[in-house]
C-alpha cells in the first residue's frame, strides 16, 4: 500500500471525522471529508438496514471522486423501543433537529423504564468503495445502557446518555482515546484499516 493513502469520509459530521482520524493515527491512511460534500447529489438513506445504507452511500459518493470513499451507517438500537431509533437515529426527532433534541425525545420515550429495559447497543457498518464499486464492508457494535439524563460534554449524537458499563461513564464523559477502545466505530474501523493495509489492497490504489 502506498504511504500515505487518502480515504475520504462521506459525511459532514466533524465528530465522526475526528474519531476516524484518531483511529487511523500511526497508519498510512489520511482521512478527510469529501470536498464540497454538501453540494453533491445527496444519497437517500431509505434502505431498511444499516448495511444497505452504508454500502449504498459508499457506492453513491465514490462516483464523484477518484479516491477511496468511506461511508458508515451507525445508530442506536433500543430493544425496549422495538429497535428504535435504529436506522432513523440521525432523524429521530425530525428534520433539522439537534443532537439535544434527539436525546430529549429518546429520554421521553424511555420515561419510567428501568433496569434491563434501558439496555441499548450502538451499531456501525463501515463500507469502502471506489469508482462506483463497493470493495468491502465491516460491522461491529457496543453494548450499554441509556442513562436517565445527559452526562458529559464530549462526543456527539447520543453519547451523553449512552452509559458504557466497562468504563462506568457515558461516552460523553470519556476521552476520545477511551471511547475508541470500546465503541462501535472504534471496533469496526480497525477492520477497514486491516483490509486497506493488507497486501491485496495494492490493487485498489
In the chain, where are the structural domains located?
Answer: 5-204
The answer to whether 128 touches 70, Cβ cutoff 8 Å, is yes
Q: What residues have CB less than 8 Å from 124, skipping those under 6 apart?
A: 50, 72, 73, 74, 139, 140, 141, 183, 184, 185, 187, 188, 189
Which pLDDT score, from 0 to 100, does residue 1 have?
45
The answer to whether 22 touches 176, Cβ cutoff 8 Å, is yes
Which pLDDT score, from 0 to 100, does residue 113 have?
98
Q: Which of 54-63, 118-127, 178-187 has the lowest mean pLDDT?
A: 178-187
Which pLDDT score, from 0 to 100, does residue 199 have?
74
Q: Mean pLDDT across the chain, nearest whole number? A: 92
**CB burial readout 66-100, b (16+ within 10 A) else e:** ebbbbbbbbbbbbeebeebbbbebbebbeeeeebe
Active-site residues, by number, are 73
CATH architecture classification, 5-204: Alpha-Beta Complex (3.90)
The model carries a pTM of 0.86
Which pLDDT score, from 0 to 100, does residue 155 have?
82
3-state secondary structure of 33: strand
pLDDT in tens, 79-134: 999 999 999 998 999 988 999 999 999 999 999 999 999 999 999 999 999 999 99
d(CA 134, CA 43): 15
The yes-or-no verdict on residue 205 having pLDDT over 70 is no
Q: Which residue has the cell 459508499?
A: 58
Confidence of residue 198 (pLDDT cuts 50, 70, 90): confident
Higher pLDDT, 162 or 176: 162
Which pLDDT score, from 0 to 100, does residue 201 have?
66
Amino acid at each position: 500500500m502506498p504511504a500515505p493513502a487518502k480515504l475520504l469520509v462521506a459525511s459532514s459530521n466533524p465528530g465522526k471525522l475526528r474519531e476516524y482520524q484518531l483511529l487511523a493515527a500511526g497508519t498510512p491512511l489520511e482521512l478527510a471529508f469529501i470536498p464540497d460534500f454538501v453540494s453533491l447529489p445527496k444519497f437517500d438513506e431509505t434502505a431498511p438496514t444499516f448495511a444497505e445504507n452504508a454500502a449504498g452511500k459508499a457506492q453513491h459518493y465514490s462516483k464523484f471522486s477518484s479516491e477511496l470513499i468511506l461511508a458508515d451507517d451507525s445508530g442506536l438500537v433500543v430493544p425496549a423501543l422495538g429497535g428504535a431509533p435504529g436506522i432513523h437515529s440521525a432523524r429521530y426527532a425530525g428534520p433539522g433537529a439537534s443532537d439535544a433534541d434527539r436525546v430529549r425525545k429518546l429520554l421521553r420515550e424511555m420515561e419510567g423504564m428501568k433496569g434491563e429495559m434501558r439496555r441499548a447497543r450502538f451499531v456501525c457498518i463501515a463500507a469502502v468503495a471506489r469508482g462506483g464499486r463497493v470493495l468491502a464492508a465491516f460491522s461491529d457494535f457496543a453494548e450499554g445502557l441509556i442513562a436517565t439524563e445527559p452526562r458529559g460534554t464530549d462526543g456527539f449524537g447520543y453519547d451523553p446518555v449512552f452509559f458504557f458499563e466497562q468504563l462506568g461513564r457515558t461516552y460523553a464523559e470519556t476521552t476520545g482515546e477511551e471511547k475508541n477502545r470500546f465503541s462501535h466505530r472504534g471496533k469496526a474501523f480497525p477492520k477497514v484499516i486491516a483490509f486497506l493495509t493488507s497486501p491485496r489492497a495494492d490493487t485498489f490504489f
